[in-house]
Amino acid sequence: MPDVKRSPRDHAVISALFPGFLAAGAALAIAPILLHLLARRPPDRQPLPTARFLRNDARTFLRLQRRPTDLVVLAMRVLFAVSLGAAFAGMTWTSPRDGRGHIVLLDAGAAAQADWDAAREIAAAELTATSSTGAGQSVVLAYGLDDGSRLVAAADLSALSRGTRPATAEDGLRALRSAALSETRWQRATVTWVTRPSWRAWSPGVGLLRPVLWPGHAALSLVPDAPASSGSGSEALLGAEPTAVPSAVDSVSMLVARVTDGSEDDPLWRALTALGVTVVAAGVPGRPDWIFVEAPSREVLAGLLDEARRGATVIASGRLSSGADIPWIPGGATESDRGGVILETGVTLYPATAAGGTPAPGARTVAVFENATPAATAVTLGEGCVVYFAASIYDPALSGGPEYPNLVDALGRACADDMGLDAPLDRGGLHALERSDLPDGVDLTEMAGEEGRPLGRWLILLALLLLTAEIGLTRVRRS
């Protein structure tokens, strides 16, 4: 059994979003303390030679004796100030965590599991395998069920029915995060994801959400399409060697591409030529199959979209203005640290300077960057297709590499591939879900600290109670 080192934060943690308010509350608490110290109080014993003529009035004396009551009132005032400051400071409470565990994340959505029996068997096998390693407790978390998601006991797994609606990868990630934080008390957790991810499970932006929702590696255990299908597990899709440059010359020899920018000496032009595509310059009459355009203006793009509706594939790249029928929502700052571009064939190109933005709803991902954010998206439009590449197609970092023609070919065939929504995710999509670059286990204590249980409303309630009690006690004392 691996040695589990206890984190220094292996205990309940109370944190504040705005510690300044806490400091302000503490400063405010000094006021009643100062008033208490400065206020005059009757000495406990007082000499008075005519004391024999005083009436022994212990009751009134005790009632007017301020110190015992003062301490309670003082404590209430101090606590009121501190709790008010703490309430505004956004205090959160994170319960202590211990040990480690393994979650078998089972996709139980209707569309995701072509072979539900196989999926349950794989989940049970994963459960058994991880339990036998002694790496801690293992649980099965099923998502996509009609009642949402829940932990399923091993004994109940065989009787578990899948949901009637398809579930997305994002559903699974959210269920995983929620269950890991609220259903378990582990300090660290690892995940095996039993799924057959199709494009139906993909949602725009899931690549960006993936490390946020679960900042660790999730080993994919892929369910076969059908009982008869060959190969199962991630090796089936992920283990294949990157394909060589397709023999596009044969398949696209009849294609005509129009390049609106550049000349014969440009890398794009040369790549298309290498693919056997007939390249024509802008202004040449005819109906090309592919139209490449770099950073088109809104007017230019509108004209090209009309051509797409008539059957052409418009491949736009670089900076883009927002508009309808475009598979991309521009926005955000340009980023350059997303890594290389990964094609569905597994080919990785050199890092390019990425444009900001996110995929438009309904767009499918054609390529991703190494950080799992989409690099190219496509959407069918009329009889044609609109493709957007979130970098410059003329970027020297890309065009200088030997795999550049593969990118050009993938972009041109983005809508031509016969891949419906039920088709399995490509290698880039799978990578986006698996994220083998992230650490194996996730520190749940750290993750929970980001979203500890908020104490604000309880602190405000406490402050109100203290205020009410202080007012009541003060009135009683004065009466």
Partner 1 sequence: MKGTAHFSATEGSELLPAEVLERLGSLDLIARTIVRGFISGAHRSPFLGSGEDFSRHRSYQQGDDVRRLDWRLYGRTDRLYVRLFQEDSNLQCFIAVDTSASMGFVGDGAVSKLRYAQFIAAALAHVMLRSGDAPGLAAFGADTSFIAPPRNRPGHLHDVLIGLEKLIPQGSGSASKALDEIGAALRRRGRVILLSDCLEADDGEALLGSVGRLRARGDEVIVVRIATRVELGEVATGPARYFDPETPKRTTPAVPDRDDGFQARVSAYYSRIQVGLEERGAEYLPITTDQPLVTALGAWLMARARREALPS
Which of 230/479 has CB closer to partner 1? Answer: 479
320-345 residues labelled b (16+ CB within 10 A) or e (exposed): beeeebbbbbbeeeeeeebbbbbbbb
Nearer to partner 1, 60 or 132 (CB): 60
Pattern 41-80, partner 1, x by CB under 8 A: -xxxxxxxxxxxxxxxxx-xxx-xx---------------
Q: How far is the CB of 454 from partner 1 (least distance, A)?
A: 46
Which of 390, 377, 370, 376 has its CA nearest to residue 434? 370
CB of 83 to partner 1, least distance (A): 32
How near is the Cβ of 48 to partner 1 at its closest, in Å? 4
Give SS3 for 38: helix
Site string for partner 1, 1-40 (x = CB under 8 A): ----------------------------------------
Q: How far is the CB of 68 from partner 1 (least distance, A)?
A: 12
Judged by beta carbon, residue 58 or residue 155, the one nearer partner 1 is 58
Strand-strand pairing, 218-222 and 188-195: parallel
Compute the least distance from the CB of residue 46 to partner 1, in Å.
4
Q: Which CB atom, from 53 or from 230, has the smaller least distance to partner 1?
A: 53
Number of residues counted as binding partner 1 (CB under 8 A): 22
Q: How far apart are CA 100 and CA 28, in angstroms?
A: 43
Contact 71, 184 (CB under 8 A): no
What is the C-alpha separation between 74 and 221, in angstroms, rounded?
A: 62
**Cβ nearer to partner 1, comparing 151 with 476:** 476
Least distance between partner 1 and beta carbon 468 (Å): 27
- For partner 1, the closer of residues 5 and 52 by Cβ is 52
> Which residues in the 397-426 window bind partner 1 by CB under 8 A?
none
Nearer to partner 1, 46 or 263 (CB): 46
CB of 64 to partner 1, least distance (A): 4
Distance between CA atoms of 452 and 93, rounded to whole angstroms? 5
Q: Which of 111, 177, 208 is nearest to 424 (CA)?
A: 111
When the beta carbons of 53 and 475 are compared against partner 1, the nearer one is 53
Taking CB under 8 A as the criterion, which residues in 267-286 touch partner 1? Answer: none
Using only C-alpha atoms, what is the Rg of the chain?
33
What x/- string results for residues 89 through 128 when contact with partner 1 is judged by CB under 8 A? ----------------------------------------
Residues in the chain: 479
Query: Does residue 478 bind partner 1 (CB under 8 A)?
Result: no
Shortest CB 60 distance to partner 1, Å: 5
The set of residues, in sequence order, having a beta carbon less than 8 Å from that of 163 and lying 6+ positions away, is 108, 109, 110, 144, 145, 146
Query: If 0-12 CB within 10 Å is exposed, 13-18 middle and 19+ buried, where does residue 214 land?
Result: buried
Q: Which neighbouring-strand residues pair with 194?
A: 106, 221
Kind and range of the H or E element at 457?
Answer: helix 456-478
Cβ closer to partner 1: 46 or 230?
Answer: 46
Q: Which of residues 319-348 bind partner 1 (CB under 8 A)?
A: none
Q: Residue 25: phi, psi to the nearest 5?
A: -65, -40
State in angstroms the smallest separation of the CB of 50 from partner 1: 4
Q: How far are the Cα atoms of 36, 52, 175, 205, 282 from residue 63, in angstroms, in the given order? A: 18, 21, 60, 68, 98
* Phi-psi sector, 36: left (phi>0), alpha (psi -120 to 50), beta: alpha
Q: Which residues lie near partner 1 (CB under 8 A)? A: 42-58, 60-62, 64-65
